[in-house]
Structure 1
């Protein structure tokens, strides 16, 4: 327990809240104005800023999938993973509450009809994509986000995925808005936990067994 940094947990929770506020918030409040490229840019630029702001404190692994990948690669202990994921879940809920509060200040805003940036498949998908399409996208896209190139791949992943399922690749990002929205968003939340985790496990395994050179094989 002594090895778990409270400041790092707080930084990751805050980072996740800010990602939801500026990423999901852009989709909910300004989505009609900035469109898909603007929403993707909001997620990407927020993540890039967080890398510089909280990276030195916590590593800025505000995507739980990164933690799952690191756990699979044995770069983090299970107890640390649980604490960091819990901190991000709390941050996501706080971020979603702030987005809902701000959005509710607009006359005529109605969460059931206007949404809260939740993820979904079928009738809950922006393009009405089915479960299989969403599952494959979330698995592959999350696998791309797990490596160190997190900050550079985020905008591309969001550009592709917004029309499919509003882009999750982050169980915490999905959890906060779904918890508040309820209904289909909450009943479909499992998809945006299972498949990002699957992608993270695959990426972590590739890093551990394929990309990591055993010490005995390293050359001087």
Structure 2
């Protein structure tokens, strides 16, 4: 018996909340923590750094795929939903309801992160909410074109892995591991480039709390992942299956 759209939407909301809260939360609270040795007059970073943040994002998806993936498909990402529609894995009529659930879940997580972060004396949200960006708002100063290419390519490959790992021909039970590790790898590649989006809901979740140019650049982090998701969904069907490309309305 298939799950109702309401239940699937709630699964997507909860999953996206966890992705943003766990992934962006690790970047906000734990990536950089300075400890001091007063006797030696030294200070050093004891935070989790890029590697820890990348693992956190991967773990959020891995855990939620097993928790609620059997209910909604475990997208937690508008680009994944678009790719699933393009590949014929999800009816086109479910696209917008999934997107709404994902964006709402992400925004609730962003609000929760902002509220917690403001609990530390001296915290300034502007520029410190793990937002995505290009140019001066890229962690390493990458251009709009560089960020666009990276986000499209990485999202496309993310979709190919997701569709392959969940294909009926793939070994059963391991999809969550493959998907989680792929998202970890994506972050290891692209945190310095764009702070890694590959997910418009994740980008939207913190952009308006972050300020500092993030809202004005948000359009790119919808355009590039959606384009990548569409490419990945189409490529998987055309190259790796014998099915004909069709949209199930």
TM-score (norm 1): 0.92
- Mapped to 2, the partners of 1:70 and 1:19 lie a distance apart of 19
Q: How does 1:182-197 map to 2 (within 5 A)?
A: 182-197=211-226
CA deviation after TM superposition for structure 1 residue 208, in Å: 2.2
1:3-36, Cα deviation, whole Å (9 max, x unpaired): 8521110011011011111100110111101100
Looking at structure 2, the residues matched to 112 and 89 of structure 1 have their Cα atoms a distance apart, in angstroms, of: 21
Residue 26 of structure 2 corresponds to residue 26 of structure 1 = yes
| Contact 1:65–1:196 (8 Å) recurs in 2 | yes
Q: How much is the aligned-residue C-alpha RMSD, in angstroms? A: 1.6
In structure 2, what is the Cα distance between the partners aligned to 1:34 and 1:52?
25
Counterpart secondary structure, 2:12: helix
* Structure 2 CA distance for partners of 1:185 and 1:112, relative to 1, 3 Å: same
Relative distance call for 1:105 and 1:84 in structure 2 (3 A) is same
Query: Is residue 73 from structure 1 mapped to residue 87 from structure 2 by the alignment?
Result: yes
2: CA distance between counterparts of 1:64 and 1:26?
22
Q: Which residue of 1 aligns with 2:50?
A: 36
Instruction: Indicate the SS of the match to 1:111.
Output: coil
* Helix, strand or coil at the partner of 1:146: helix
Matched, 1:142 2:155: yes
For the 8 Å contact 2:25–2:113, the answer to whether it is kept is yes
Partner residue, 2:180:
151
SS at match of 2:48: helix
Paired residues in the alignment total 213
SS of the counterpart of 1:60? coil
Secondary structure, counterpart of 2:122 in structure 1: coil
Structure 1 residue 151: deviation in Å?
Answer: 2.4
Contact 2:125 2:209 in 1 (8 A): no
Compare CA radii of gyration and give the structure with the larger one: 2
Determine which structure has the larger helix proportion and give its number. Answer: 1
1:97 and 2:111 equivalent? yes
User: Unpaired segments of 5 or more residues in structure 2?
Assistant: 33-46, 163-177, 245-249
Unaligned runs of 5+ in 1: 216-220
| 1:204 maps onto 2:233 in alignment | yes
Deviation at 1:159, TM superposition (A): 0.8
Aligned residue number for residue 12 of structure 1: 12
**SS of corresponding position for 1:123:** helix
How many angstroms apart in 2 are the aligned matches of 1:3 and 1:15? 16
Q: Following TM superposition, by how much is the alpha carbon of 1:65 offset from its aligned partner in structure 2, in angstroms?
A: 1.1
Cα distance between partner residues in 2 of 1:3 and 1:74: 18
Stretch deviating more after TM superposition (143-152 or 4-13): 143-152
Q: Give the match for residue 124 of structure 1.
A: 137
Q: Which residue of 2 aligns with 1:218?
A: none
Aligned mates of 1:104, 1:3 — CA distance in 2:
38
Listed one character per residue, the Cα deviations across residues 101-123 of structure 1 (whole Å, up to 9, x for unaligned) are 1111111100114x211000000
Change (3 A) 1:100 1:207: same
Q: TM-score, normalised by structure 2?
A: 0.82
* Cα shift readout 1:131-151 (whole Å, capped 9, x = no counterpart): 111001000110111132422
Residues 142 and 193 in structure 2, CA contact (< 8 A), matched pair in contact too: yes
